Structure 1
Amino acid sequence: MSKSYEYVPEPALVKGDHSFSSITDMIAKTPLSPAPKLWYLAFGLANLLLIVMLGAVGYLIWEGTGIWGLNNPAGWGWAIINFVWWVGIGHAGTLISAILFLFRQGWRTAINRFAEAMTIFAVMCAGLFPAIHVGRIWVIYWVFPVPNQMAAWPNFSSPLLWDVFAVSTYFTVSLLFWYVGLIPDFATLRDKAKSKVAKISYGIASLGWTGSFRHWWNYEKAYMILAGLATPLVLSVHTIVSFDFAVSVIPGWHSTIFPPYFVAGAIYSGFAMVLTLMLIARKIYGLEDIMNIDIMEKMNIVMMVTGNLVAFAYLMEGFVAWYSGYIYEQGIFWLYATGPYAWGFYILMFCNVITPQFLWSKYIRRNVALTFIISIIVNVGMWFERFIIAVASLATDFMPSNWDYYSPTLWDILTYLGTFGLFFTMFLLFLRFLPMVAIAEVKGVMPQADPHNYDDETKEFIESKAKPVVPEQAETV
C-alpha cells in the first residue's frame, strides 16, 4: 500500500518577522507613550455623551418613568431592550477568553484582552437600565438579599431579581478573569515605564510579579480555575435574561426556545462588536500583524454559525406557533409581519437572516471593509430583534381593545445614546493605559516559544518537504 504525504505548515498566528522583544515594544508603546490627538478628540466626544446620560438619568430620577414612552400595555420599552442588547454585546468576551482558552484555540490570544474589556464595559452599561427602570429607584436596594426597614424581602421567584444575581456574578467573574490575565503584562509595563508614577502604578497592579516559575505556576492555575467558572456563565447569564420573557404568558414570549436562542444571539452580536472595535484599533495602532486577516476570518466563521442558529430559531418560533394551533401565538407572529411594527420586523430579518449568508464567501470573510460593514449591520439587527420581542408582544396583547402604539421619547433616545458615552469613555481609558493585547499570551503562540523550535537548517529541510509529492516517488508504507 502506498500513500502520498504532503507537509502543510500551520499558518502563523503572528504575521511578520517578529521577536519577543518586538512584540513587547509594539504593544507596550501605546500605554507608555503620549496619547495622539485623535484619542483626545474621541475621548471628548465620549465624555460629552456620558454627560448626556447623566443628565437624562438625573431628570428621570427627578420626574419618574413617565418621561419615557411607556404606556398601557407597553410597560417595557427601550430600557429593557437596551439591557438585553448590552448584556448580549458582552457575551463574546467570556466565550473568547474562557471557552476558547479551554479548547486551546491559540488564535484567541490576539483579541481576548480586547473582548474581556468590552465585556466588562458592556455589562456596566447593561446594569444601568434595570436599576433606573424600577420607578422607585430610592428603594433599589430591595432587590438585594438584605433586610430592610419594612421587612419586605425580595421576591426570589421573579426573573427580574434573578437578573441581579446572574449579571452581578457575570461581572465579578469577568473582572477577576480580566485582571488576572493582566498581571504579567502589568509587570512588563512596570519594567519598561520611564515615569516614576507609571512605575509605581503598574508595580502595585502587578502584585509583585517577578516572572518566577512559582508565579507562572500559580498564575496558570488561577487562570484555569477562572476560565472554568466563567464557562457556565456564557450559557447561564443570557438564559436567565431570556427568562424575563419566557416565564410569562404573553404571546410571543412564552417559548421554550428562548434560552438557546438568546445565547446564540448574544454570541452573534458580541462577536460583531468585537470585530467592529478590533478593525478600528488594528488600523489606528498598527496591530495588523497580530490582529490579522486569518483571525478575522475565524471570527467571521463563528458569526456565520451563530447567525444561522438565530435564523433557525426564528423559523422554529413561527413553525411552533403554527403547529400548536394556539390562535394568540399565531396572531402575534402574523402581526410581527403585517402589524404596526412590521417595519422593524423586516429590518431584523434583513440584518440577522440575510446578512450572515454573505459570510459563506471566503472573499467577504477576509475583506476588512465588508466585514466592518457586516459587523455594524448585525448589531443593528440584534437591537431590532429585542425591540420586536419586547415592544410588539406587549403592545398587541390578548385584547385588541388594550392595544396601543409605543413610541420612544427624546429621553429614551438620550439615555440609550448616553450609554455609548459610558462604554467608549471606559474603552478609551483602557486603550490609553492598559495593553490592549495580552503580551504574554501572544508570545506563547509564537514559534520561539515552542520547545521544539527548529534551527535554520531544519526549517530548510521542512520547507523542501512541503512541495507536492509525485505519486511515483511516494514513500511506501
Structure 2
Amino acid sequence: MENLKNLSAEKITNDLLPQKFGRRGMIWTASLIVICCIGAFAYIKQLREGLIVTNMGDYVSWGIYISNFVFFVAVSLVGSLITAIFRLSGVPWRTPLTRIAEIIAVSNITFAALIIIVDMGRPERLYFLFTHGRIQSPILWDVIVITTYFFLSLLLLYITLIPDIRMMISLKDKLGKPFSKLYHWLASFWQGTAAQEKIRDRAITILCITVIPVAFCIHTVTSWLFATTYRPGWDSSNFGAYFVSGAFLVGAGAVVVAMYVFRRVYKLENYITETHFDKMGKLTVMLALLYLYFNVNEFLVPAFKMKKEEKDYLSGLFTGDFAPMFWFAILIGMIIPILVLLFKKGRKPKPMFIVGVMVVVGAWFKRYLIVTPTLLHPFLPKYDAPARFNHYFPSWEEWAITIGSMAGVLLIITFFARVFPVISIYKTLEDKNALTKQHETTEQYESVPVS
C-alpha cells in the first residue's frame, strides 16, 4: 500500500482500467474458445448417444465429472470467503486481491453447476429434481446451496463493481465505445451520493456476513453426498472438515496463480506487491498444514482398524494402482508447498506462482482419488460383473468435456478482465487518499515543537 503514496490518481486510473487484448491475448482467448468448442462437440455427442460414450458403469457411476464438480466447488469456496473475511476484519492490504477472488468464485461455481447437468446425462432431469426432489436427500440440499452461493457471489461482485463501472462511463472517450452500453445498463443510476454510498456499504456488509456460512455449507453439503453413501473411504465423520480445509487450500492456490498472471500481464507491480505474495504465502502454508492434518486423520483411523473393505481401498491408494497418483497429489499438493513456503525466498512472486500451480494441480488429482478408488471398492462383493467394471479410465468425450469446462472458467475470467478492472479503481483511490491524509497528519504531528 505504501507504493500508492507516490502515484497520482490519474496514473492509478490509467493503470487499472481494462486493456485491449494484444496478440498474446487474442491467441489465448482463441485457444480457450477452441477447447470449449471441442468440449461442446463431445457433450452434443453424449446427448445424442447417451452416457454410453463415457467409461462410467454400474460401479464407477460418477467418475471424472463429479471429480471436476468437487474441484470447482472447492476453488469457488475461498473466493467469496477471502472477500468477506478480509472486508469484515478490515485487512488493510486486501484491495488488490478481493476482486480477483470474487471473479474466481463466480466463474468456478458457474461451471460447478453446469458439470452436474452434464453428469445427469439428460439435462431435463434437472427439472425433475425440483418437481420430485426429496428434502431428505443431500443432492437437493446441494442444489439449493449452490444456487444460493452463486447468486450471493454474483451480487457481491456486482455491488463492489458499481463505482468502477460508473467511472468507466465517464471515461468512455479513453476506453472507446465497445462496452459503453453495457456500462450504462449496469451503473447509469449510480451518482455516488452519501445516501447511495451508505446503502452500498450496508449491502456489502450484509452479503459478506451471509456468504460466510453459505460458503461453509456448500462444501460441507457436497461432502455429505459422499459421507452419507455407504462406501469404503466415504464412511467418515471427518469428511466435512476434510473437504472444507482442502477447499481453503486450493482456493488460496488459485488466487495466488491469478495474482501472478494479472501482475505480469497487466504490469500491476505497484498494486500487487511482493508483500501481498508474502502474506498469501503465509496463509497458504497454514492452510496446507491444516489440510495435511485432516488427510492424516482421514487415512490413519481406517488404517488402524483395517477392515477388509477399507484394507483393499487403502492398499489401492498407498501401494496399488492408484499409488503413483496418490503420492503425487500428496507431495505436489501439500508437502512440497509447505517446505517451499516456510522460507521467505519461497514466498516471492515466482516461487509462489509455481507453488500455486502445484497446489491446484494436486487438488484436482486429489478429488479424482476421492471419487474413483472408492467406487471401485464397494462393500458388497462383485459377482458376475464384466471385467471392464473393475477398472475406470475416462473416455475422450469425458476428457474433452472436463478440459472444456476448465477452459470455460478461464474464458469467463479472461472476458471479465477485458471488460472490467481486475483491481478496484475506486477502492485503490480511497486507499491512496487515506494514506495521504495519514502521512500529512504524521508530518504535522512531527513538526510540532516539543517544549
CA distance in 2, matches of 1:198, 1:80: 36
1:22 matches 2:11: yes
Q: 2:21 aligns with which of 29, 32, 35?
A: 35
SS of the aligned residue for 2:124 comes to helix
CA distance in 2, matches of 1:243, 1:14: 46
CA distance in 2, matches of 1:23, 1:278: 18
1:287 matches 2:268: yes
Paired residue type of 1:17: N
Q: 1:176 aligns with which of 147, 152, 155?
A: 155
1:262 matches 2:246: no
Q: Which residue of 2 aligns with 1:138?
A: 124
Q: Which residue of 2 aligns with 1:167?
A: 146
Deviation at 1:186, TM superposition (A): 0.6
**Could you give the per-residue CA deviations for residues 22-61 of structure 1, whole angstroms, max 9, x where no partner exists?**
2122112x35xx4322221111111111111211111111
TM-score of the superposition, structure 1-length normalised? 0.87
Worse-superposed segment, 69-78 or 282-291:
69-78
Q: Which residue of 1 aligns with 2:371?
A: 390
Paired residue type of 1:51: C
Q: Which residue of 1 aligns with 2:254?
A: 273
Paired residue type of 1:22: K
Deviation at 1:328, TM superposition (A): 2.8
Deviation at 1:270, TM superposition (A): 1.1
Alpha carbons 2:376, 2:391 under 8 Å: kept: yes
Deviation at 1:438, TM superposition (A): 1.1
1:428 matches 2:414: yes
1:22-421 pair list within 5 angstroms: 22-28=11-17, 30-31=18-19, 34-144=20-130, 146=131, 153-194=132-173, 195=176, 198-324=179-305, 326-357=307-338, 358-366=340-348, 368-399=349-380, 401=382, 404-421=390-407
Alpha carbons 1:308, 1:356 under 8 Å: kept: no
Deviation at 1:410, TM superposition (A): 0.8
Alpha-carbon spacing, 1:196–1:342, altered in 2? closer, same or farther (3 Å): closer
- The count of residues paired between Structure 1 and Structure 2 equals 440
Paired residue type of 2:72: W
Alpha carbons 1:46, 1:424 under 8 Å: kept: yes
**Could you give the per-residue CA deviations for residues 291-318 of structure 1, whole angstroms, max 9, x where no partner exists?**
1111111111121111111111111112
Deviation at 1:176, TM superposition (A): 0.5
Deviation at 1:139, TM superposition (A): 2.9
Alpha-carbon spacing, 1:332–1:198, altered in 2? closer, same or farther (3 Å): closer
CA distance in 1, matches of 2:250, 2:443: 47
Alpha carbons 2:337, 2:358 under 8 Å: kept: no
**Could you give the per-residue CA deviations for residues 68-110 of structure 1, whole angstroms, max 9, x where no partner exists?**
1113321120000000001111122111111111111122210
CA distance in 2, matches of 1:108, 1:300: 14
Q: Which residue of 1 aligns with 2:386?
A: none
Alpha-carbon spacing, 1:26–1:158, altered in 2? closer, same or farther (3 Å): same
CA distance in 2, matches of 1:360, 1:63: 51
What stretches of structure 2 of length at least 5 have no aligned partner? 384-388
Paired residue type of 2:11: S
Deviation at 1:329, TM superposition (A): 2.8
SS of the aligned residue for 1:160 comes to helix
Worse-superposed segment, 368-377 or 452-461:
452-461
Root mean square deviation of aligned Cα: 2.1
Deviation at 1:138, TM superposition (A): 2.9
CA distance in 2, matches of 1:245, 1:278: 33
Alpha carbons 2:334, 2:359 under 8 Å: kept: no
Worse-superposed segment, 314-323 or 172-181:
314-323
Deviation at 1:16, TM superposition (A): 6.6
CA distance in 2, matches of 1:63, 1:88: 31
Identity %: 26
Higher helix share: 2
**Could you give the per-residue CA deviations for residues 390-428 of structure 1, whole angstroms, max 9, x where no partner exists?**
000111222554671111111111111111221122111
CA distance in 2, matches of 1:190, 1:89: 32
Q: Which residue of 2 aligns with 1:467?
A: none
CA distance in 1, matches of 2:59, 2:442: 73
CA distance in 2, matches of 1:455, 1:353: 45
Deviation at 1:448, TM superposition (A): 3.8
Deviation at 1:264, TM superposition (A): 1.1
Alpha carbons 1:71, 1:404 under 8 Å: kept: no
SS of the aligned residue for 2:365 comes to helix
